[in-house]
Chains A and B, each alone.
Chain A
């Protein structure tokens, strides 16, 4: 499974949707994922890819992890994976 498919699966599970209903330009808000859901999604991403995601729930926009859309999250995970691969 590709990074994209895995991230979409994590987000879909959190949003209680089918992966096919998650579009790349969706925001988490569009998908009905609240702040707790976001923290859970990030945990699932860290566990799935064995990476550490820099994220502070007090100010998500200040964290060095773009969560503005599904596509942005996938790109951010790709970046972290390559940075943390060793």
Chain B
């Protein structure tokens, strides 16, 4: 088996337009959640979100590109450009054939669907733009990254709701680890903040009207966000040979299915994925210093997740740190694991653990060290990132300091 390292990272999310500004927000515990600025927001009962503000698509893409790029594709491309730029890689010849793209998304081109359903149903139009299908398809982002960067190897999209990015990065990791690919561009993207995207979530009655406060006794639900993060996963020998700067190592991945309920999480399913990732990483559980929690801020997730972590780590559960950065950027659904992996990168590389902001009051069912409100300096050797999706699909990825 080959070792897998990260040699580039990029992001666009409610906290910043690149990795540096996102890390700064993590360190400062800044909140990127605010009033939504979208069409028909007055007809929504949930009017807040982690929306990317001050974004001008025409500053990055020309008219022809914009005809093909839904917002989720734009975010993925911007993040991929940054990541590949940082890695210093250019793809041609054999390397291009051995390199691919696996991205996660849940809604794909949901803004495109929303706008065009509106056009035909509400406005009664009988004609839509010719590129609606290639714009809305879930694999559009992965394909456009492949096209723009000449990545000619395995390229596909993973859609497992809130675990999409982790499942995608797990595939990329194992493809490089097995020798199937030299380099994989991986992560995820989501742009679900449109009338239909939020209206559907409202129906579940699990959304907060004011803030995302994971693990706090005062929490009252989740808040949606949007954005993307993309990483360059590279064969260590390949990275070393070209003298690349290595950000950290990807050491483990595991997934499981609860096989029980379509929305209610299971402690056992989560615990099996967490324990599996530790085992796959070949580390002992007490080497894990930080977990980026799924931490949605719902009653169901947070207590189940804390119980799962306590089960897996035993006494060490009280020594490790676990925070939910969703409190700052919101829940990016299919893109969330990718943005949250950035917090793990910051922990193992910079020795700074992002906080859980909005934390007001301890919950006896969530008694772990959730790094309340203020970032913390710590020497973290191994970090995990949890993602537990509707459908009972769990995926956990492990990073290690390099």
Instruction: State in angstroms the CA–CA spacing of A57 and B301 once bound together.
Output: 12
- Which residues does chain A contribute within 8 Å of B205, judged by CB atoms? 39, 42, 55-57
Q: How many residues of A contact B (CB 8 A)?
A: 13
- Which residues does chain B contribute within 8 Å of A62, judged by CB atoms? 220
Whether B400 is near chain A, meaning CB under 8 Å from some CB there, is: no
B203–A58 touching, CB < 8 Å = no
- Which residues does chain A contribute within 8 Å of B299, judged by CB atoms? 57-59
B220–A58 touching, CB < 8 Å = yes
The B contact surface, by secondary structure, is: loop
Interface centre among A43, A52, A56, A58 (most CB of B within 10 A): A58
Nearest-neighbor residue (CB-CB) of B301 within chain A: A58
- Which residues does chain A contribute within 8 Å of B1, judged by CB atoms? none
- Which residues does chain B contribute within 8 Å of A35, judged by CB atoms? 264, 300
Partner of B206, one of A34, A42, A57: A57
B221–A58 touching, CB < 8 Å = yes
Instruction: State in angstroms the CA–CA spacing of A48 and B205 once bound together.
Output: 18
Whether B204 is near chain A, meaning CB under 8 Å from some CB there, is: yes
B264–A58 touching, CB < 8 Å = no
A16 to chain B, nearest CB (A): 17
Nearest-neighbor residue (CB-CB) of A58 within chain B: B299
Nearest-neighbor residue (CB-CB) of A36 within chain B: B263
A35 to chain B, nearest CB (A): 7
- A42-86 contacts to B, CB under 8 A, are 42-43, 52, 55-59, 62
A80 to chain B, nearest CB (A): 15
Mark interface residues in B79-95 (1 if CB within 8 Å of A CB, else 0). Answer: 00000000000000000
A65 to chain B, nearest CB (A): 11
- Which residues does chain A contribute within 8 Å of B262, judged by CB atoms? 36
Instruction: State in angstroms the CA–CA spacing of A41 and B208 once bound together.
Output: 20
A58–B206 touching, CB < 8 Å = yes
Instruction: State in angstroms the CA–CA spacing of A52 and B45 once bound together.
Output: 10
Nearest-neighbor residue (CB-CB) of A63 within chain B: B205
Whether B298 is near chain A, meaning CB under 8 Å from some CB there, is: yes
Mark interface residues in B189-229 (1 if CB within 8 Å of A CB, else 0). Answer: 00000000000000111101000000000011100000000
With A35-B264, A36-B263 as given contacts, are A57 and B204 in contact (CB-CB < 8 Å)?
Answer: yes
Name 14 A/B residue pairs within 8 A (Cβ), A-sorted.
Answer: A35-B300, A36-B262, A36-B264, A39-B205, A42-B205, A43-B203, A56-B220, A57-B206, A57-B221, A57-B299, A58-B219, A58-B220, A58-B300, A62-B220
Give the interface of B toward A (CB within 8 A): 45, 203-206, 208, 219-221, 262-264, 298-300
Give the interface of A toward B (CB within 8 A): 34-36, 39, 42-43, 52, 55-59, 62
Shortest 5 CB-CB contacts between residues of A and residues of B: A57-B205, A58-B299, A58-B221, A57-B206, A39-B205
